[in-house]
């Protein structure tokens, strides 16, 4: 089964001191959910030789998340007021090999 999410990101470009300030900022604390955490991820990004997916605004990857591999498709990205909004489709895999047949939404597949 494919899980669909809509990701909303606010991205920052800063050095380590900027990250420390960001973590202490009250406005961030007011809207943050959960605890801060760092993780080491292994991701494999896929595209055609002529970068057709990139040109179409699509990202396709497999990523190791704990004991499992997850296939993710990101598409329909929009920017508004500094926020990035992206549709994401996730499906758990047995290994790092793509399995596009597992994507249930035929328009995305």
C-beta atoms surrounding 89 within 10 Å: 20
**pLDDT-based confidence at 12, cuts 50/70/90?**
confident
**pLDDT tens across 40-84, in order?**
788 999 999 999 999 999 999 999 988 899 999 999 888 777 777
What fold does the segment set 3-29+41-102 form as a domain?
Hypothetical Protein Pfu-838710-001 (2.40.320)
93: alpha, beta or left? (left if phi > 0; alpha if psi -120 to 50): beta
**pLDDT tens across 86-98, in order?**
889 999 999 989 9
**pLDDT-based confidence at 8, cuts 50/70/90?**
low
Q: What is the CA radius of gyration of the chain?
A: 16
Contact criterion met (CB below 8 Å) for 61 and 72: yes
Higher pLDDT, 109 or 104: 104
């Amino acid at each position: 089964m494919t899980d669909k999410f809509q990701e909303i990101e606010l991205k920052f470009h800063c050095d380590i001191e900027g990250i420390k300030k960001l973590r202490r900022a009250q406005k961030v604390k007011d809207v943050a959910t959960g605890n801060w955490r760092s993780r080491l991820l292994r991701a494999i990004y896929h595209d055609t030789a002529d970068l057709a997916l990139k040109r179409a605004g699509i990202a396709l990857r497999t990523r190791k998340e704990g004991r499992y591999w997850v296939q993710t498709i990101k598409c329909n990205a929009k920017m508004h007021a500094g926020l990035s909004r992206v549709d994401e489709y996730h499906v758990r895999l047995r290994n790092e090999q793509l399995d596009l047949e597992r994507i249930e939404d035929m328009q995305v597949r």
